[in-house]
């Protein structure tokens, strides 16, 4: 009998990477479950994505939804999530989850050492979103692309508007869909980004990248899980100098992409 499942954590409006995650999650769950709204459901799946860190508002709201589902006698799963520096208010709820999956080893370590919780690792679900081959494609003609970066001192995302990095071609993840982004990236030379999902798009497009740390350890955790010596910078100011390294190490990136392809896929 097919279970009725409810999904929380739709961040599709944020940018195309988040839309790709929710699309893939919905498609995978729909293979063997009936997806419903409202309160007539058997199990709750919460897409944690990048929101479960530093006791954020999204963190509290999602953990409260999980807690309520469990107290109502339903199964609850937290999937596809980051986990970083959250308090211990929901430790009991974590022990009552029917499943918990993170996307990289640093979140896995945080859960174990702060909360005593074991979590499984799977790649971000955007990696498995189906690419529409008829999607619009931009020709970036071998250019180096940049996206947004995170200013740690200001706690905000920003676009570079001056200096050598501003001369690169800027890509706004909110301005196109996932398929168009991936197909267009296949025409570029390399990608510089502080966005976790821009790094994933570069991986799907098979393009070398220069990663700059964002507001969580998502990118660093992926690199550490892989074991490949891919640098993660802590300032966008250093990114231009690393582009040549990324391009010169295309063979290593090819091996990294193969590692991602061979990584076990999440199944509910």
Q: State pLDDT tens for residues 54-68.
A: 999 999 999 999 999
Pick the last residue of a domain from 128, 158, 180.
128
Q: How remote is the C-alpha of 29 from its chain's centroid?
A: 18
Domain count, the chain: 2
Same domain, 117 and 231: no
Q: Please check whether residue 200 lies inside any domain of the structure.
A: yes
pLDDT at residue number 1: 78
Beta strand pairing call for 209-212 and 232-233: parallel
Counting residues of the chain whose pLDDT is more than 70, the rounded percentage is: 100
Q: List, for residues 12-32, the tens digit of each pLDDT value.
A: 999 999 999 999 999 999 999
In a domain, 139, yes or no: no
pLDDT digits (tens, 9 = 90+) for 27-52: 999 999 999 999 999 999 999 999 99
Q: Which residue range forms the structural domain that includes residue 159?
A: 144-262
Model pTM? 0.97
44 and 8 Cβ atoms separated by less than 8 Å: yes
42 assigned to some structural domain: yes
Same structural domain, 87 and 31: yes
Q: For residue 94, tell me if it sits in a domain.
A: yes
Domain stop point among 128, 161, 191: 128
Q: pLDDT tens, 186-226?
A: 999 999 999 999 999 999 999 999 999 999 999 999 999 99
Sign of the C-alpha dihedral computed for residues 39, 44, 50 and 55 taken in this order = positive
Mean pLDDT value across residues 92-119? 98
pLDDT digits (tens, 9 = 90+) for 132-183: 999 999 999 999 999 999 998 899 999 999 999 999 999 999 999 999 999 9
Q: Is there a single domain that holds both residue 97 and residue 199?
A: no
Domain-embedded: residue 133: no
C-alpha–C-alpha distance, residues 70 and 126, integer Å: 28
User: 223 and 114, same structural domain?
Assistant: no
Give the domain-ending residue among 94, 128, 162. 128
Quote the tokens at residue 242. Answer: 């690393």
What number of other Cβ atoms are within 10 A of residue 265's Cβ? Answer: 10
SS (H, E, C) the chain: CCEEEEEECCCCCCCHHHHHHHHHHHHHHHCCEEECCCCCCCEEEEEEECCCECCCHHHHHHHHHHHHHHHCCCEEEEEEECCECCCCCCHHHHHCCCEEEECCHHHHHHHHHHHCCCCEECCCHHHHCCCCCCCCCCCCCCCEEECCEEECCCCEEECCCCCHHHHCEECCCCCCCHHHHHHHHCCCCEEEECCHHHHHHHHHHCCCEEEECCCCCHHHHHHHHHCCCCCEECCHHHHHHHHHHHHHCHHHHHHHHHHHHHCCCCCC
Residues 96 and 8 both lie in one domain: yes
Q: Is the pLDDT of residue 131 over 90?
A: yes
* 193 within domain boundaries: yes
Per-residue confidence band for 84, with pLDDT thresholds at 50, 70 and 90? very high
Q: Which pLDDT score is estimated for 82?
A: 98
CATH code of the domain in which 38 resides: 3.40.50
Residue 89 sits in the same domain as residue 174? no
Position 185 in a domain: yes
The confidence band for 3, taking pLDDT boundaries of 50, 70 and 90, is very high
Q: Radius of gyration of the chain from Cα atoms?
A: 19
Judge if 40 and 83 occupy the same domain.
yes
């Amino acid at each position: 009998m097919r279970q009725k499942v409810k999904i929380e954590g739709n961040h599709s409006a944020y940018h195309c990477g988040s839309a790709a995650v929710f699309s893939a999650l919905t498609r995978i769950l729909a293979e063997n479950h009936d997806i419903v709204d409202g309160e007539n459901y058997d199990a709750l799946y919460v897409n944690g994505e990048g929101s479960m860190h530093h006791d954020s508002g999204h963190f509290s709201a999602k953990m409260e939804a999980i807690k309520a589902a469990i107290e109502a006698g339903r199964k609850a799963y937290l999937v596809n999530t980051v986990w970083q520096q959250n308090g211990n208010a929901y430790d009991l709820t974590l022990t009552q989850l029917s499943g918990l999956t993170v996307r990289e080893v640093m979140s896995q370590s945080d859960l174990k050492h702060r909360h005593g919780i074991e979590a499984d690792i799977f790649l971000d679900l955007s990696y498995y979103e189906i690419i529409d081959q008829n999607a619009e494609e931009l020709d970036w003609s071998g250019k180096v692309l940049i996206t947004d970066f995170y200013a740690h001192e200001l706690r905000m995302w920003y676009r570079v508007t001056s200096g050598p990095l501003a001369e690169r071609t800027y890509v706004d993840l909110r301005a196109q869909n996932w398929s168009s982004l991936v197909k267009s990236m296949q025409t570029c030379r390399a990608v510089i980004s502080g966005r976790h999902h821009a790094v994933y798009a570069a991986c799907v497009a098979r393009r070398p990248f220069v990663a700059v740390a964002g507001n969580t350890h998502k990118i660093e955790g992926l690199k550490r899980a892989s074991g490949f010596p891919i640098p993660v910078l802590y300032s966008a100011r250093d990114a231009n100098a690393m582009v040549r390294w990324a391009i010169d190490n295309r063979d290593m990136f090819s091996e990294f992409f193969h590692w991602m392809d061979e990584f076990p896929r999440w199944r509910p």
